[in-house]
Amino acid sequence: MEKISVDFLSTLFVWQSLFLASIGFLVYCLIDILKNKFVQNDKIVWLLVVILLPILGSVLYVSIGRKKKLRQN
């Protein structure tokens, strides 16, 4: 019985850590999108992608969307 509760708690800790990391990543992406300028409607598109597909959208934004930002002088 003791072994089951220890395994459950360690598994729960891992899942909670992953959940909190994904929430932090989502918030980082949303803030980055809102602070920067994009061409035409790209800002709205990226906001919708990140909000509607949180984990996949955040990964896509970091890998593709950050390169689409306008350069600030």
Read off the pLDDT of residues 5-58 as tens digits, 9 standing for 90 and up: 778 888 999 999 999 999 999 999 999 999 999 988 999 999 999 999 999 999
Q: How many domains does the chain have?
A: 1
6 lies in a domain?
Answer: no
pLDDT over 90 (residue 69): no
**Domain membership flag for residue 45:** yes
Domain residues for the domain of 67 are 23-73
pLDDT-derived band of residue 3, with 50, 70 and 90 as boundaries?
A: low
- Predicted pLDDT at 73: 46
- Strand-pairing partners, residue 38, are 69
The amino acid that residue 47 corresponds to is L
pTM over the 0.85 mark = no
Q: Which is higher by pLDDT, 24 or 72?
A: 24
Q: What share of the chain is helix, strand, coil (3-state, %, to 5)?
A: 80, 5, 15
Element (H, E) at 61: helix 54-63
Asked if residue 13 belongs to a domain, the reply is no
